[in-house]
Amino acid sequence: MHAHSFSPESAGIRRLFVLGLAAVTTVAGTWEMHRLLSARGTTVPEGVLLALFVLCFGWIALSFWTAVAGFLQLAVSKRLPGLRWPTAEEAAKRLASRTSVVMPVHNEDPASVFANVQATYESVAATGQLDAFDFYILSDSTRPEAWIAEELAWADLCRRVGGQGRIFYRRRTDNTGKKAGNLQDFCERWGRHYDFTIVLDADSLMDGRTLVTMARLMELNPRAGILQAPPLNVGRSTLFARLQQFAGRVYGPVVAAGAAAWQLGESNYWGHNAIIRTEAFIQHCGLPVLPGQQPFGGHILSHDFVEAALMRRAGYTVWLVTELGGSFEQPPPSLLDYAQRDRRWCQGNLQHLSLVAAGGLHPISRGHFLMGVMSYAASPLWLLFLTSGLVAGLWDGWLSFSNPHLLEDLPPEAMHFDAKGSMRLFAVSMGMLFAPKIFGLLLGLASAKDSALMGGRVRLVLSVLLESVLATLMAPVMMLFQSHFVFGTLLGYKVSWSSQQRDDADLPWSEAARRHAVHTAVGVGLAAVAWFLSPGLLLWLSPVVAGLLLSIPLSVFTSRASLGLWLERRGLLVIPEESEPPKVLERSQEVAGEFAMEPVADAVDHVISDAKAHALHLALLESQPSPAAVPMALASARRKLLGDTAEPLSAPEKTAVLLDAHTLTEARERRLTIAVS
Amino acid sequence: MDSVTTPNTCPSVTTTEWVRPETCVALDAFFQGFGFEAAEDLAALAAWALEGVTASNVKPQAAVALARARVETWLTRELDMDVVGEGRLLTRGRAAFVLCDGARFGATVFTRDAVPHELSRALSAAVPVPTPAQVATAMPEQQLVLWPLGERLRRWLRAGQPDMSVSR
């Protein structure tokens, strides 16, 4: 099978516009940088600096021209060519297809997960098309307490909405392949029941109308393999999260529309809030295991990009449909949680480097792999760029010091650094970096409704300024975090797989100090070196130095919900989804508040002592395949549980007991008997 | 042990004083699994389970087996379940009963023939269906040649290991 294009005829000109202009801009920028650096000839550190500049500037140029394309696309408000949209008559018909909505979960807070499922379910029901959908909670939870809490939450949800037989719950006993394996297990067991599968994340929330439209688009476009609905960050209160939500709402659409405008049917899949053609996915997207050792070999960690590439290789298109709306997720609540998520994603994206040259892939799919790599590699490149700039300055100083007559031989124009030229290049770079923000702001200001919902035009401008300042200060911290992850991954850093922190909990100062001590020290060192070389250089580096020096208070204060809410009350960083929340979002928050669950403190104890948990768990256990062999943990657990002395069970022992109906029944009978006598 | 001379300490089965205390306890435990907590409910249910039993020394296991059989008969009547394996009816039926809080209607739901319509409807809706029937299918692992040019060279030279994804 070989890749071939299904994208519309305008794909070529669109790609030439973005990629061609990005290339021309990179060449022009590099030329100018070379001119500035080579005034006194080019030293080795300056050569390295130039090479790093090409990569960093090229990345910025591509983002800039993508944002330009997005801005134009949104300004003309025309639908992208390629996908056939339903007519009014078609949109009113009943769906002829069957769609599963799957939500893989892993040790999450069940209250918010099931509140989102309920809100989505009710929203689909409100469209009158519920018969075309089934819902699955695919649990990979390893914590026994999370497992039991999920079962209870599932049963409660089914009772509330009458969802037995339409909302299903399955827990895997082994987590092979992690999220991709979880989805594969679903496909291999129930996938053939459905034409399409909508994949959600544990914090995903989708409007029923969006789900119906996605299914309808898949019906009307039989060569479409995946449709990605870009999710909007909503629902958090911390300052950090509200910065993410604001940026995602104001600038995100520009970037997404830009990417969609030139990638068209060769777009990417982000792993959730997307619909996939189930049969094509089963036949063509079974993930391979890569040869060699980690970080590049072994199981594929970031499955979504690879699945999109495989789907495209099989001749199906992948679309980023920015017009859909009604697709939400939650941002991480703090800078450290954001970094923790990045740590997981980093290794997965770097692993894609080994797939760039793989046979049969579409060139744009290769581009997605490279862009994914660059989204993390850009940080160490920037760090190396800054370091090599300092080294080049030190080198220059050393040469002048060690050979005072060296400067005498140089022409007079080489004696003066072209400050104007450097300022011009710096301004162009900054302009390109901030362009998506400016485009987003312009589009926001142009829409009276949007700007009113974001606190009014003045507050919208102030919000953009505030977001820009804080994002600039946090960028150097993320640069160091991501550089650490990249170097660590390449040097064999272990990436653990843990669920995200999804609560708005304040970050303690001690934790922030522990995590950011190195960043602060790097800031001090950078400031000292820059001052030693030239006080002017320190001024140039001041945003980076300030961000690093302030990393501890920045991390603490941005993690605070009180600050986020204080700004919201003043109309700052407000998004329309806060001023005028969509029904599905309101409903989700309402359900989470109304049906808050009691936490399960001890899973085994709860199942033994609570009649409801016991009866439900045993009933669900019947649908779960029995373990091939009785684990050793069960024997020791039985000794502890049924013996005369009460001993606490370890997590593996709890899991073993929870998988054994006989032991649970025996333990419950024993407990009741003791209680009575 | 002679059951006739054993002092009865059963807290609930006041009407069946001739039954062993451990049998009462076992029956109480069984019905507590359905969410019944009140002593009078448990006593009535124990009496219902042992209805027609004349032997005074009925053992706990035998009494529970009788109770199971009675409840299963009741569930068969109330639930229209397609596939019922050994013990599955009781397990799933009990879960449904507990989930719709059937115990709030008292022991009479079991002991009388007429079941309240509200409970009957709730019970059917509450039978846990964790997953639908499976349609087993294999998701074939895709093969990727990571560096096609190198792979061609390797084949030509007949050397090294294939540079492609490996089977699970």
To the nearest whole number, what is the mean pLDDT of chain A?
90
Q: In chain A, what residues touch B161 (CB-CB under 8 Å)?
A: 291
pLDDT at A569 over 70: yes
pLDDT tens, position by position, A384-429: 988 888 887 777 777 666 676 666 666 666 556 677 888 899 899 9
User: Is B52 at the interface with chain A, CB within 8 A?
Assistant: no
Distance of alpha carbon A400 from alpha carbon A209, whole angstroms = 69
Higher pLDDT, A476 or A40: A476
A286 to B99: CB separation less than 8 angstroms, yes or no: no
Distance of alpha carbon A475 from alpha carbon A143, whole angstroms = 35
pLDDT at A499 over 50: no
pLDDT tens, position by position, B9-28: 444 445 455 677 888 888 99
B146 to A358: CB separation less than 8 angstroms, yes or no: yes
**Could you tell me which chain A residue has the CA closest to the CA of B151?**
A359
Closest partner CB to A192 (pick from B126, B135, B162): B135
Buried b (16+ CB within 10 A) or exposed e, A541-552: beebbbbbbbbb
Q: Is the peptide bond before A436 cis (omega within 30 degrees of 0)?
A: no
pLDDT at A554 over 90: yes
Q: Measuring CA to CA, how many Å separate A354 from each of A128, A295, A308, A309, A613? A: 46, 10, 16, 14, 47
Question: Is residue A1 very low, low, confident or very high in pLDDT (cuts 50, 70, 90)?
Answer: very low
Report strand pairing: A274-277 vs A224-228.
Answer: antiparallel
Q: Measuring CA to CA, how many Å separate A129 from each of A212, A324, A521, A597, B91? A: 7, 18, 58, 30, 33
Annotated domain spans of chain A: 96-286+306-331, 603-676
Beta carbons of A244 and A298 less than 8 angstroms apart: no
> In this structure, how many other beta carbons lie within 10 angstroms of the beta carbon of residue A84?
12
A187 to B146: CB separation less than 8 angstroms, yes or no: no
Q: In chain B, what residues touch A351 (CB-CB under 8 Å)?
A: none
User: Is A486 at the interface with chain B, CB within 8 A?
Assistant: no
Average the pLDDT over B33-43 and give the result.
91
Residue A17 tokens read as: 């516009």
| CB within 8 Å of A141: residues ≥ 6 apart | A105, A106, A107, A108, A147, A150, A171
Closest partner CB to A616 (pick from B128, B164, B165): B128
Question: Is residue A496 very low, low, confident or very high in pLDDT (cuts 50, 70, 90)?
Answer: low
User: Is B42 at the interface with chain A, CB within 8 A?
Assistant: no
Beta carbons of A228 and A322 less than 8 angstroms apart: no
pLDDT tens, position by position, A256-311: 999 999 999 999 999 999 999 999 999 999 999 888 877 788 888 899 999 999 99
Q: What is the DSSP letter of A590?
A: H
Distance of alpha carbon A359 from alpha carbon A313, whole angstroms = 9
User: Is A160 at the interface with chain B, CB within 8 A?
Assistant: no
**ipTM of the predicted assembly exceeds 0.85:** no
Residues 326-355 of A with CB under 8 A from B: 354-355
Fold of A96-286+306-331: Spore Coat Polysaccharide Biosynthesis Protein SpsA; Chain A (3.90.550)
The Cβ-side half-sphere exposure at A125, using a 13 Å CA radius, reads 13
Question: Is residue A146 very low, low, confident or very high in pLDDT (cuts 50, 70, 90)?
Answer: very high
Size of interface A-B (CB pairs under 8 A): 158
Average the pLDDT over A244-253 and give the result.
96
Residues recorded for chain A: 677
Specify the pLDDT at position A618. Answer: 94
Query: How far does B150 lie from chain A, in Å, by closest CA?
Result: 10
Q: In chain A, what residues touch B132 (CB-CB under 8 Å)?
A: 134, 165, 168, 190, 193
**Could you tell me which chain A residue has the CA closest to the CA of B61?**
A669
pLDDT tens, position by position, B98-132: 999 999 999 998 888 788 888 888 998 899 988 99
Distance of alpha carbon A428 from alpha carbon A430, whole angstroms = 5
Answer yes or no: pTM beyond 0.80.
Answer: yes
Average the pLDDT over A354-373 and give the result.
94
Closest partner CB to B130 (pick from A354, A357, A623): A623
Phi-psi label, residue B160: left if phi above 0, alpha if psi -120 to 50, beta otherwise: left
> In this structure, how many other beta carbons lie within 10 angstroms of the beta carbon of residue A580?
11
Residues A408, A412, A414, A419, Cα dihedral to 10°? 130
Q: For A331-335, A666-670, B58-62, B83-87, which range has the lowest pLDDT when averaged over its residues?
A: B83-87
